[in-house]
Structure 1
Amino acid sequence: MSTINYSDVEKQFETLQVLNTDGEIVNKDAVPDLSDEQLTELMRRMVYTRIWDQRAISLNRQGRLGFYAPVAGQEASMLASQFALEKEDWLLPSYRDIPQLVFHGLPLTKAFLYSRGHFVGGQIPDDVHALMPQIIIAAQCTQAAGVALGLKKRGKKNIALTYFGDGATSQGDFYEGINYAGAYNVPAVFISQNNHFAISVPVEKQTKAKTLAQKAIAAGINGIQVDGMDPLAVYAATKTARENAVAGEGPTLIETLTYRYGPHTMAGDDPTRYRTEELDNEWELKDPLIRFRKYLEGKNLWSKDEEEKTVEQAKEDIKAAIKEADQTPKQKVTDLINIMNEQLPNNLREQLEEYREKESK
């Protein structure tokens, strides 16, 4: 009788890295084929998002935004993966993945309205192939498998890509999603952004597996672990996963090793209760913006002027989007009732009349 040697399994999931923390290429064979313009645009999006994140935190503290999950530290994991998608691919984000949703086409104003809980924020334009951010942990995994199956049955050469944290891999929907996707060989890419603490529980206490990527084995799908602070590695892994999915080679589970510098959300989380200052400092040295900036400066593709220009553009866009959000008519109970059903049942018709009367006073 033989048993599995898990150390042999773990050796199959060595972390893919292209750029080290000094912005130097350490894996020439894995360098993705990106033009100078594409490299610059990816850096612009990362800087833009860092400024957006800082401003969103400030707006939340002022009471001008509602629910918000900080993203600083995860820019490479988020934006480099989305950068590998095509416009017609489907995006299924979690509540933290608003930047990818915006760069996939959602107007910034709607992102702010979503944070405020306004229904207009959930009205995704028809030409933006995405679902609303998922609040239920890991529910987007099963949804992604379904969307991908639909793409396959329609003969589309596109994929469904979904994001979730390390905590989601402890949920049943995660296993069901990757198993279904593997069984039906659908064009899906699952990205687990392993920031090591979920809401507050260390990943080591969530699973005995040394990597989250190796969980792909049980589902019979491809799996890879990536340095999530390295935008080139994240892009390369996602691009390959997308190409494999479109070619009929099945789904991929990507684990990005990353770190959120802020709290889980702005709703009262205190990361100092479960993270040490030493650990925070260690991960700050791996900052994806610093790493990528050094790389681009070495290629004469990025400068202080370009950075300042991007920062100012982000501030202007945010100011304009918040102003537009402020000017959006306040939602009413009657609005919510009217958009719930095409034909209202009797109980809602009664409530609609009741609230119409209240709102008219």
Structure 2
Amino acid sequence: MDVGHLPASEFDSAGFEQTLMGSPEENPVPDMVQLLTIDGEVRHDPTYSSYVADLTADELRGFYRDMFLVRRFDEEATALQRQGELVMWVPMTGQEGAQIASGRALMPQDYVFPTYREHGVAYTRGLELSHLLRRFRGISHGGWDPREANFHLYTLVLAAQVPHAVGYAMGMARDRLVNPKLPEAATVAYFGDGASSEGDVHEGMVFAASYNAPVVFFCQNNHWAISVPTEVQSRVPLANRARGYGFPGIRVDGNDVLAVHAVTRWALEHARSGGGPVLIEAFTYRMSAHTTADDPTKYRLSADEEAWLDRDPLLRLEKHLRSRDLVDDAFFEDLREEGRNMAVRLRENVQAMEAPGFEDAFTDVYAEAHPLVREELNAHRAYEAGFADSDADPTAASREHTA
């Protein structure tokens, strides 16, 4: 079997590495951890292969099923937005391998801080997929209780979740000092290559290194911060940044479910056991738009997208499963039927969602009643009551209140 580190030069020759500014001597491109080639063949890696050696046939089929269903979910959510059922949607197609593989490496006691694209990770944590759509339908500020699955609410403010993850991890470590019987746990902060340029990421990594926090920084480098390519964002490979903070940085083939799963398991064990933070750069590609408000044809070439089709995480794992006779055509047909049924249920759930009343906006500000909010609510009620006497001319009350 091939060695499971793909040299940077090989990636360059394949056209998948962006040209980085600066000399190779100063900023060497790190090798890529890869355990599954694009042809579905297994590579051996002396560090990481042992972390996937115990995967069963059912678990491998489960990886494929997870990726297939979240891609089908993503397609349906995009369609719902196009049909006016959602205000906006953030697609994830192409990044299923990085999300499912890392999500399945988590333990129940670990805590996840996502951005707004981690639909696959949410699925591995047991969240009902329709709950993810509540915010995008505009009926909720969140959509789920983070405590139920240790999966935080989506963070729309770019990179704001990273300091939160570090602070939570510091709290976890302190809790175990007080009560050593608590299970070892870590947090994972997911963010994109674009968010890595935000100060929140830098500040979070400084604190994590200083306090040896049990946190894994998981960067999904999908090559585009909306319309800005990676080489404009950083003069060095993103994984190399970890050295400046004093903790390990690993670049992994983000479309290789085996490699991502192995690397994430290693990183989580390292963090939980007191080894401190780790940065994982999952080298992947966003096959769809940044959001449904984006048009990627304005800034990237279709040839670049086509070059990544062969690296599709689903296609790669399918080749591996078929080569080992772990699946047959009936498996894929059953899965397609499951996906169709899931999409129908999802659409029904979304269309049945009711918007909250306007007064709910006042009751959700504080956990307990607040006199100022109560005063504002009463003022609003009085304002609305003024329209009751002006049914014939709705603008009359408005003019009266304005006066």
Q: Could you say which TM-score interval applies, normalised by the shorter chain?
A: over 0.9
Q: 1:259 aligns with which of 272, 285, 298?
A: 285
Identify which range, 109-118 or 171-180, moves more after superposition. 109-118
**Equivalent residue for 1:165?**
192
**Equivalent residue for 2:40?**
23
User: 1:1-361 maps to which residues of 2 (within 5 A)?
Assistant: 7=24, 10-11=27-28, 13-27=30-44, 29=46, 30-31=48-49, 32-33=52-53, 34-119=55-140, 121-124=142-145, 126-155=147-176, 156-209=183-236, 211-267=237-293, 269-356=294-381, 358=384
Q: Helix, strand or coil for the counterpart of 2:86?
A: coil
CA distance 1:123–1:49, change in 2 (3 Å): closer
Give yes or no for contact 1:9–1:214 (8 Å, CA) kept in 2. no
Instruction: State the distance in 1 between where 2:42 and 2:299 align.
Output: 34
Tell me which amino acid in the other structure corresponds to 1:298.
S
Q: What stretches of structure 2 of length at least 5 have no aligned partner?
A: 1-21, 177-182, 389-403
Instruction: State the distance in 2 between where 1:132 and 1:262 align.
Output: 23
Instruction: State the distance in 2 between where 1:314 and 1:221 align.
Output: 41
CA distance 1:115–1:129, change in 2 (3 Å): same
Tell me which amino acid in the other structure corresponds to 2:329.
K
Q: Alpha-carbon deviations, 1:292-327, whole Å to 9, x = none?
A: 110111112223221222222233233223323333
Q: Alpha-carbon deviations, 1:31-77, whole Å to 9, x = none?
A: 31211111111110001111111111111100112221111111001
Instruction: State the distance in 2 between where 1:82 and 1:138 align.
Output: 19
Give yes or no for contact 1:98–1:133 (8 Å, CA) kept in 2. no
CA distance 1:151–1:292, change in 2 (3 Å): same
Tell me which amino acid in the other structure corresponds to 1:20.
T
Identify which range, 115-124 or 286-295, moves more after superposition. 115-124
Instruction: State the distance in 1 between where 2:239 and 2:370 align.
Output: 46
Q: Helix, strand or coil for the counterpart of 1:162?
A: strand
Q: Helix, strand or coil for the counterpart of 2:250?
A: strand
Identity of aligned residues (%): 35
Identify which range, 45-54 or 295-304, moves more after superposition. 295-304
Deviation at 1:236, TM superposition (A): 0.8
Bigger radius of gyration among the two: 2
Deviation at 1:328, TM superposition (A): 3.3
RMSD: 2.1
Instruction: State the distance in 1 between where 2:224 and 2:245 align.
Output: 24
Instruction: State the distance in 2 between where 1:90 and 1:322 align.
Output: 29
Give yes or no for contact 1:52–1:315 (8 Å, CA) kept in 2. no
Q: Helix, strand or coil for the counterpart of 2:219?
A: strand
Instruction: State the distance in 1 between where 2:321 and 2:262 align.
Output: 17
Deviation at 1:127, TM superposition (A): 2.2
Instruction: State the distance in 1 between where 2:173 and 2:23 align.
Output: 34
Identify which range, 67-76 or 342-351, moves more after superposition. 342-351
Q: Helix, strand or coil for the counterpart of 2:367?
A: coil
Q: TM-score, normalised by structure 1?
A: 0.92
Q: Helix, strand or coil for the counterpart of 2:105?
A: coil
Deviation at 1:9, TM superposition (A): 6.4
